[in-house]
Amino acid sequence: MTGDLDRTPTILASIARFAVTARRVVDRGHDRFIDPDDDDQRRIARSLLVDLSAAADRLPELFRQAHPEVDWRGIRAVRNFIAHDYDGTDEEILWQAISVQFPAIVVAILPG
């Protein structure tokens, strides 16, 4: 159990890095995100959400229990949806996840 708790700062640091990249995607704007001729931003968003889910799964259960305001199951569900319905992922749902939900999760779990 102590080993699990010791890895929490490293996992949170990874999530913080993902958040910086997510912010860059959002700062580039919605028009670029939905550009039918350039899917780079959507691919980055998908990757970040999958990475967030993987990191959340590695967080100790005690940490997740200490943050009940975070929809941990929802994070995994988004990952599964993206992974298994790649071409069918709605761009607007993806945009909301990266521009609204991701920052809210980060505020809830990262210190300061």
Q: Taking residues 26-49, what's their average pLDDT?
A: 96
How high is the pLDDT of residue 4?
Answer: 53
When mean pLDDT is compared across 3-17, 19-33, 40-54, the lowest value belongs to: 3-17
How high is the pLDDT of residue 3?
Answer: 53
Residues 74 and 14: their CA atoms lie apart, in Å, by 19
- Identify the domain containing residue 38 by its residue range: 7-109
Residues 42 and 45: their CA atoms lie apart, in Å, by 5
DSSP 34: T
Q: What is the pTM for the complete model shown?
A: 0.88
Query: Would you say residue 52 has pLDDT above 50?
Result: yes
Q: pLDDT (tens digit, 9 = 90+) per residue, 4-26? A: 558 999 999 999 999 999 999 99
Tokens of 49: 């959400």
Q: pLDDT (tens digit, 9 = 90+) per residue, 57-98? A: 999 999 999 999 999 999 998 888 888 875 677 889 899 999
Residues 6 and 83: their CA atoms lie apart, in Å, by 30
- State the Rg of the chain over Cα: 14
Q: Per the domain annotation, does 90 fall within a domain? A: yes
Q: Per the domain annotation, does 1 fall within a domain? A: no
Residues 79 and 94: their CA atoms lie apart, in Å, by 11
Q: Per the domain annotation, does 2 fall within a domain? A: no
Q: Helix 40-58 vs helix 102-109: angle between axes, to the nearest 10 degrees? A: 30
Q: For the chain, how many structural domains are there in total?
A: 1
